[in-house]
Amino acid sequence: MIERQSDTRDPKHPQTLEDAQARIAQLERQLEDERARHSEIEANERCFRELAEHIQEVIWMTDETGERLVYVCPAYEKIWGQACEELYDDPSKRLARVHEEDKPRVLEAFERKAHIGDYDEIYRIQRPDGDQRWIRDRAFPVENDQGQVYRLAGLALDITDRIEFNDRISNLQHDINTHDRMSVFATLGTGLAHDLSQPLTAARNFIARARMGFTSNADDTRQTLERA
């Protein structure tokens, strides 16, 4: 009696030439789809790099704790005055440049608000060359497919020109207000001088007449002085 052996052939393994050709066609379609997805990813990355390398704002990205730098665009070197490589080696240098008067507020705000998307601070930085710049820095949480924050993305703007412009406008407004007050006082002084000149002139004339009358009628002299 001959026992029938069980069929151990792999169902995915083509058994005929037609099966092999169909399998090859399927793999070619999968490969083409993969190439298309890869090309799309490369195009998106190229667009992002072109954008990040030519904008004036600093785009940065860290892990969820903010301790490990994932990416920073080249504009960082122009605004902060130090190489991006230094920041990759020590991400804390980004906030280490914050002005000493602003640093406690900024560090506290970053620790408490960055992971919830409520971090939006304006502060000064001190560049290595001694130049001071004004920065507006914002951070946003990035979530994975499970809804967990796994990165922090941020945008830092150099608003020094805007701050200096506002200061000039404020100083100009102050000068205008001061000039207006001086103009009011000058106008008031002119009016007062005009209002006082006539009675003072009359009083001066009466006194002059009284002086002339001292040698004549005493009553006329007295009346003249009373009028004065």
**Mean pLDDT value across residues 190-212:** 73
Contact indicator for 139, 154 with CB cutoff of 8 Å: yes
Instruction: Extract the tokens encoding 160.
Output: 């020094």
Q: Is the pLDDT confidence value at 10 over 60?
A: no
Average pLDDT, the chain: 79
- Band (pLDDT 50/70/90 cuts) for residue 214 is low
**Mean pLDDT value across residues 27-33:** 80
47-76 pLDDT per residue, tens: 556 655 656 788 898 998 888 888 888 889
Q: Is the pLDDT confidence value at 194 over 70?
A: no
Q: Is the pLDDT confidence value at 5 over 60?
A: no
Contact indicator for 156, 136 with CB cutoff of 8 Å: yes
**Mean pLDDT value across residues 29-44:** 73
Query: How far apart, in whole angstroms, are the C-alpha atoms of residue 139 and residue 63?
Result: 12
pLDDT at residue 213, rounded to an integer: 58
pLDDT at residue 166, rounded to an integer: 78
Q: What separation in angstroms does the CA of 75 have from each of 56, 89, 202?
A: 6, 17, 78
- Band (pLDDT 50/70/90 cuts) for residue 82 is confident
- E-assigned strands of 6-163? 58-63, 69-72, 119-126, 132-143, 149-158
164-176 pLDDT per residue, tens: 887 787 777 777 7
Q: Is the pLDDT confidence value at 1 over 60?
A: no
Query: How far apart, in whole angstroms, are the C-alpha atoms of residue 114 and residue 108?
Result: 10
pLDDT at residue 199, rounded to an integer: 79
Q: Is the pLDDT confidence value at 26 over 70?
A: yes
pLDDT at residue 3, rounded to an integer: 47
